Structure 1
Amino acid sequence: MNSTVTPTRAAIARSWLLVPARSSEELDRAAKSPADVVVLDLEDGVPPSGKAAARVVAREWLRHRRGWLRINSRTSPSWRDDLESLHDLEGVEGVVLAKSESPDEVAATADALGGAVPLIALVESARGIARAAEIAASPHVVRLAFGRGDFRRDTGIADTPLALAHARSQLVIASRLADIAAPIDGPCLSTDPTRILADAAITAEMGMTGKLCLRPEQASITNDALSPTDDEVTWAEQVVARLGASGSGIENGSDLPALQRARNLLSLRAQLDSMW
């Protein structure tokens, strides 16, 4: 299996739309949504009795389309079957490994895929958070993601920004240490646009640059919330104009960090505009 997904695209994608692989029609609708990435779900979005049929749907759809695939955890009896269903599929851009808890699980998945497919490690437990730095440093892992629903079930932690701040920060720090893109936050469960926007704002505040989505209508709100604003772009342009692209106008210790942030914002804006 060959993957043609570019590292940059996976690294800067904002909205990751999870879609249970129940029907090609549902997947087609998702592909037409504003989501940066469509993730065909073979895990929690599909009951055990429907997993075999979901693999057939996903395999057929990926013969003619492109997308990511969320597979069951390494400890699940469905893990091997999920991987075998990917054999010789050119449409697989990458794999999301559910309930990642160790670098060994990631390595086993990468090996089974022939080492040619980018992986996102979905961290959903206290054990996974505790080993986040090791998981992030694993070869083939391009990003971490936060499964906050299962994490809360595992730990009993409340669904509030304060209660979840430590876990989110651990993923952000682990990603930075491994020099991979910032992590993908868990989804908002609401259909209220105001709550979706507020939830995405928390994602951005925590230093996370992507977000799982459960409904197509969440994607555009998420994209806007996780993109540089017009005001930020204007500020960045003014900083570069004042300090010079090479930093020739730097006058004090605060200028260099500001210039680097401005460069990063303008680079991200250009990359997003070129891809979506």
Structure 2
Amino acid sequence: MTVNDLTARREAREATRIASAHARSWQLVSAMHPDVFDAAHLGHADQIILDVEDAVDDSQKAQALENVVDWLRGGGTAWVRINDVTTPFWAQDLEVLAGVPGLSGVMLAKTESAGQVTETYERLGRVVPVMALVESALGIEEANSIARAEGCFRLAFGSGDYRKDTGAANEPIAMAYPRTKLVLASRIGGLTGPVDGPTVGPVSKATREQSSDAVTLGMTGKLCLNNEQPEAVNRYFTPTPADIEWAQAFLAEFEAAGRVIRDGSDKPRLARAQKIAERASVYGVATF
């Protein structure tokens, strides 16, 4: 592929990319594998996240960061998962990434306080959004203040590290509380619904079940670990035909009645119908 061909394909993909505020699939890509950056960028993921944190050994952090910067300066566009504030790599990540073109935002690993988000935001010139990756018991309990921190763009659930921190099992009942906590915190902070943690392995029954659990609780996206998962995740986090049909019928009935609320049950149903309509429109799956 020539440089001109790659540039054209990148521009075409960006023209159809779902904005970060509404993104469903967030694909993590190890920053030590720059040979796959373009494949991920041109794939089905709504957004990609180049990972210089967990996917990279400490001895390779500098090289990973260099790979990211070279690709971004070469015309790529992506989010970057940076190291947490307790490590010596956090400040280095911010110093190197500040002002780099193509940086859509940063995901702050192991976020545990509002101050960590705001300081990250400030060091990046107060212009780069910060997604707070919450991965511990403390982070979950501080989620309300994290969501309201200046610079916080969205919350994401680091489910694997959360289980490691708490000893919780990877079961719906064990994951219900932290997921719900992030959903409520996002609402309190005025943020888009949170991004769920990844499902390890290829697309499977587990991917569908965990996505369904997340959607039921109010989450609006999911981290992905390979090129196969984003297409499935996008499907699971898009309103279903049945949901869209119901929303269309309810809104049509509401309009025909002169937009008059008949009883208390209409208000939550109206809010749900409007949310479904908004998301269906964003993802181009229905016209209201």
Same fold (TM over 0.5): yes
- C-alpha distance after superposition, 1:86-135 (max 9, x if no partner): 13311001110000011111121111111111110000011111111011
What TM-score do you get using the length of structure 1 for normalisation? 0.93
Matched, 1:139 2:150: yes
Count of aligned residue pairs for this structure pair:
268
Question: Would the aligned equivalents of 2:134 and 2:140 in 1 still touch at CA under 8 Å?
Answer: yes
Matched, 1:113 2:124: yes
- Say which of 71, 78, 102 aligns to 2:113: 102
Corresponding residue of 2:57? 47
Pairwise mapping of residues 31-42 of structure 1 onto structure 2 (< 5 A)? Answer: 31-42=41-52
Corresponding residue of 2:220? 209
Distance 1:245 1:98, change over 3 A: farther
Matched, 1:169 2:193: no
Corresponding residue of 1:26? 36
Cα drift, residue 252 of structure 1: 2.5
What letter is aligned with 1:55? L
What letter is aligned with 1:30? A
Corresponding residue of 1:229? 240
Q: Deviating runs (4+, > 3 A) in structure 1?
A: none
Distance 1:55 1:245, change over 3 A: farther
Question: CA–CA distance in 1 between the matches of 2:92 and 2:232?
Answer: 35
What letter is aligned with 2:21? A
Question: CA–CA distance in 1 between the matches of 2:165 and 2:268?
Answer: 39
- SS class of match (1:169): helix
Matched, 1:187 2:198: yes
- SS class of match (2:56): coil
Corresponding residue of 1:68? 79
Cα drift, residue 246 of structure 1: 8.4
Question: CA–CA distance in 2 between the matches of 1:69 and 1:263?
Answer: 32
Matched, 1:129 2:140: yes
Q: Which deviates the most, 190-199 or 91-100? A: 190-199
Question: Would the aligned equivalents of 2:106 and 2:131 in 1 still touch at CA under 8 Å?
Answer: yes
What TM-score do you get using the length of structure 2 for normalisation? 0.89
Query: CA RMSD, aligned part only?
Result: 1.7
Gaps of 5+ in 2: 1-17
- Say which of 229, 232, 240 aligns to 2:251: 240
- SS class of match (1:10): coil
- SS class of match (1:241): helix
Distance 1:84 1:262, change over 3 A: same
- C-alpha distance after superposition, 1:57-107 (max 9, x if no partner): 100111111110000001111101111221331100111000001111112
Question: Would the aligned equivalents of 2:203 and 2:229 in 1 still touch at CA under 8 Å?
Answer: no
Question: Would the aligned equivalents of 2:183 and 2:194 in 1 still touch at CA under 8 Å?
Answer: yes
Corresponding residue of 2:159? 148
Higher relative CO (Cα under 8 Å, sequence separation at least 6) belongs to 1
Identity %, equivalent residues: 42
